[in-house]
Amino acid sequence: MRKWIALATGVALSVTATASQAADELTLQLKWVTQAQFAGYYVAKDKGFYDEEGLDVEIKPGGPDVAPPQVIAGGGADVVVDWMPSALATREKGVPLVNIAQPFKKSGMMLTCRKETGITSPADFKGRTLGVWFGGNEYPFLSWMSQLGIPTEGGEEGVTVLKQGFNVDPLIQKQADCISTMTYNEYWQVIDAGFTPEDLVVFKYEEQGVATLEDGLYVLEESLEDDAMVDKLARFVKASMKGWNYAAENPDEAAEIVLDNDATGAQTEKHQKRMMREIAKLIDGSDGTLDVAAAERTVDTLLAGGSDPVITKKPEGAWTDKITNMIK
């Protein structure tokens, strides 16, 4: 009897070991800290969607000192989440990033201004101080100002650019007339600080016609030349989009999963649940397929940078449908 038990146990351990060995490892580098902005990936991991595809996915949070393009260029990740303006600028500088999937259909970026400043339209930006994120996030703003013909060196006919930290203090403390916000994050921080929507004027990049694609999935070109990696990436995107769809349909549960993965304990339940609902609007039923027209609009926006464009020429090979076509 003991012999059979030992044999059965040995077989079970062997099967377990084989299953463990069969899981393909993949590392994802996020653009920012653990929050509902990345819920789809955490949900895919928590719900076993990656396991179902034979993947062992490590999700690495980002932060103010983490630049995803640098991480992947240095071999620290297989896939990164990045905004297309940053990815294209990085590509032109020699790091061959390629968009393999685009979970976010819409941009959540906007400028939020105190209504008391009297700003009612972009023409009123002249002579004002505007808070802008850098680290790659400044590109859409700089292109927008260039299209408006507004210099960014200050003066009565230009704007003074305040290098904004990842908080809303400049607006609250009246250091800036407007600041950069996302529909799903900083805007609500302003509201939580005591402002009402009636106290604010917002300019959504989508509505201004200068929106650029955000939170796409990028790999290095060499990854697409490796058949085994291509197969792995297809399984990763498939499971990730399953995670995004689940998160959009179950926002509260998705927010809880995010909170469970927040090692810092900095996030709050109220904020993450609200964020997840706003993120769902940007996902908007995406299956991960890149809208080429939106990508080309992003390129056109970035090229319209006057004497200092974000990119100097239209990119070639900056996106591919090779991966998403494999999972349809």
Report pLDDT for 143: 83
pTM (2 d.p.): 0.88
Instruction: Quote the radius of gyration of the chain (alpha carbons, Å).
Output: 22
Geometric angle at alpha carbon 69, from 224 and 313, rounded to 5°? 80
Distance between start and end Cα atoms, the chain:
50
Domains annotated for the chain, with CATH where assigned, are 22-105+213-326 (3.40.190.10), 109-208 (3.40.190.10)
CB atoms within 10 A of CB 148: 15
pLDDT in tens, the chain (328 residues): 434 444 444 444 443 443 445 899 999 999 999 999 999 999 999 999 999 999 999 999 999 889 999 999 999 999 999 999 999 999 999 999 999 999 999 999 999 999 999 999 999 999 999 999 987 678 889 888 988 999 999 999 999 999 999 899 999 999 999 999 999 999 999 999 999 999 999 999 999 988 999 999 999 999 999 999 999 999 999 999 999 999 999 999 999 999 999 999 999 999 999 999 999 999 999 999 999 999 999 998 888 766 567 788 999 999 999 999 999 7
Report pLDDT for 7: 43
Report pLDDT for 212: 92
Q: What is the pLDDT of residues 97-125, one digit of tens each?
A: 999 999 999 999 999 999 999 999 999 99
d(CA 243, CA 249) in angstroms, rounded, equals: 10
State residue 273 phi and psi, 5-degree precision: -65, -40
d(CA 123, CA 119) in angstroms, rounded, equals: 8
Report pLDDT for 193: 96
Report pLDDT for 21: 59
Can you tell me which residue has the tokens 């993949």? Answer: 26
Geometric angle at alpha carbon 192, from 188 and 195, rounded to 5°? 90
State residue 236 phi and psi, 5-degree precision: -65, -45
Say if residue 84 is exposed, middle or buried (CB neighbours under 10 Å; 0-12, 13-18, 19+).
Answer: buried
